[in-house]
Amino acid sequence: MDLKIYNTLSRSKEVFVPVRPGRVGIYTCGPTVYNYAHIGNLRTYIFMDILRRVFAFNGYKVKSVMNITDVGHLLSDADDGDDKMSMAAAEQKKTPEEIAEFYSAAFFRDIARLNVRRPDVTPKATEHIGDMIKIVQALLDKGYAYETDDGIYFDISKFPDYGKLSGANLEEQLAGARVDINTGKRHPADFALWKKAAPNHIMKWPSPWGMGYPGWHIECTAMSNKYLGDVFDIHTGGIDHVPIHHENEIAQAEAWLGKKAVNYWMHSEFMLVDGGKMSKSLGNTYTVDDLAAKGYTPMEFRYMCLNVQYRQKLNFTWEAMAAAKTAYERLSALLYRHKTAPAPGNRPEIEKYLGEFHEAINDDLNVPMAMGVLWKMLRLPAGKDVYDAALVMDKVFALDFDKVASPDHTAEAPPEIREMAEKRREVRRNKNWAESDRLRDEIAAKGYKVLDTADGYRLEKI
Ligand code: AMP
Ligand code: ZN
């Protein structure tokens, strides 16, 4: 079956053709580890995870690489402002290394809780400075870059294709843009490959141009090239990276290599909160822990994300979160019912649903549609075969279907039911089995199943 993905570069859905048959190399721009990841960032990593799972489902051998930015990402994605790592270090009175270590660990913990598989390689920018310097030097040698008092800059006038990813009309965009005199840039869209460090700058390394630190964009080119080769299959990231970061990556990589480096560019849309932007000042940059504090599990959040296709905006509201919780609980209860029912023999409908599921995920990761197929399948009369098919689908959803357990409704059962259950426990102690069975049936008639456990009983809604 064809696997179609939307390529930002061609602005169309394309049938995926790998560089090497049966294999796929995927690079994802990773986090800048100066803060906790918020739910918007996490949506993007859930997309990355679904992407690799869809390829694995199709039998590809996946190699996924995600960098850790622990230097060089300045406050603005262009070349302005302080380094985010140094800023956090100064604020928290720690070293940048301590900040990086703390927030990397928090990041990996968060994605693990969301069943986002850790990429196969997670290189740190600070451990690849030599690789970056090599590319910067090559770009200087080839005449694509120039040196100023402030650093080494990429000269976009030498790369006529600049802007091809976003389709931006550079001239229009830049009419009236100010040229920053401090950097000595020739063109406002020229971007830093390397920055020269002021004496008091903390993170810096020796280079042919004195002590300094890399630009953010060159990190991704150096690390994707090192771990995936000169030409690789897919590069992903959030949609905000299209106009600057990825445009710059394309320019420097193609100028350096003299050919196209990435075949498919895929971008996930943003998460909004209450219909607007997420921002610290609005206090809506929620984390996985913020969700937990309100009683929402990582799986419920993942379920919510899976119900919106990655190229659509996802509007987070607490009402939507509550609805996702209810739906996920209902899903788990249904799955449990199928899990505990015998398989009723050959049911061709199940194969049909699995086929529809496969078609949906192969149509540019239409996971919401695949989820619809699952819900339809769950309406079949209870049977273990349905549960087994749901487990196959869960290789992509990764919503812990293998862990569904009996939902315990004892605490929320009406007092009348609980009294009957107590009474039943009493008569069982006295070995009055006839009365015990009568009470069980009476409880069932009122919509609850009573299950005997080692320490008493449990009530489940029927
Ligand atoms: P950063 O750590 O700031 O580089 O961001 C990490 C990833 O999260 C990037 O791929 C961004 O594109 C993505 N991202 C940032 N904000 C949002 C958002 N509101 N919704 C979805 N993705 C986001
Ligand atoms: Zn990147």
Decide whether any atom of ligand 1 lies within 6 Å of the 212 Cβ: no
> Which whole number is the average pLDDT over 356-373?
98
Decide whether any atom of ligand 1 lies within 6 Å of the 271 Cβ: yes
Decide whether any atom of ligand 1 lies within 6 Å of the 41 Cβ: yes
Give me the residues paired with residue 237 across strands.
267
Decide whether any atom of ligand 1 lies within 6 Å of the 40 Cβ: yes
Q: What is the CB-side half-sphere exposure of residue 139 using CA atoms within 13 A?
A: 31
Decide whether any atom of ligand 1 lies within 6 Å of the 284 Cβ: no
**Would you state the pLDDT for residue 83?**
82
Alpha carbon of 93 to those of 97, 198, 212, 319: distances in Å?
12, 20, 22, 38
> Which ligand gives the minimal distance to the CA of 250?
2
With the most atoms of ligand 1 within 8 angstroms of its CB, the residue from 44, 110, 220 to mutate is 44
- CA-to-CA distance for 357 and 359, rounded, in angstroms? 5
**Would you state the pLDDT for residue 71?**
86
Decide whether any atom of ligand 1 lies within 6 Å of the 43 Cβ: yes
Question: Would you say 18 and 59 are in contact if contact means Cβ atoms under 8 Å apart?
Answer: no
Residues 59-107: tens digit of each pLDDT: 999 999 999 999 877 776 666 667 888 888 888 888 889 999 999 999 9
| Helix (H) or strand (E) run with residue 427 in it | helix 415-429
Q: What's the whole-model pTM score?
A: 0.89
User: What atom of ligand 1 comes closest to residue 43's alpha carbon?
Assistant: 21
- CA-to-CA distance for 396 and 385, rounded, in angstroms? 18
Q: CA 65 from chain center: how many Å?
A: 13
If 0-12 CB within 10 Å is exposed, 13-18 middle and 19+ buried, where does residue 199 land?
Answer: exposed
| Helix (H) or strand (E) run with residue 27 in it | strand 23-28
Residues 109-156: tens digit of each pLDDT: 999 999 999 999 999 999 999 999 999 999 999 999 999 999 999 999
With the most atoms of ligand 1 within 8 angstroms of its CB, the residue from 45, 216, 236, 240 to mutate is 240
Question: Would you say 49 and 119 are in contact if contact means Cβ atoms under 8 Å apart?
Answer: no
For Cα atoms 155, 124, 154, give the angle at the middle one, nearest 5 degrees. Answer: 0
- Please tell me the distance between residue 245's alpha carbon and the centre of ligand 2 in angstroms: 6
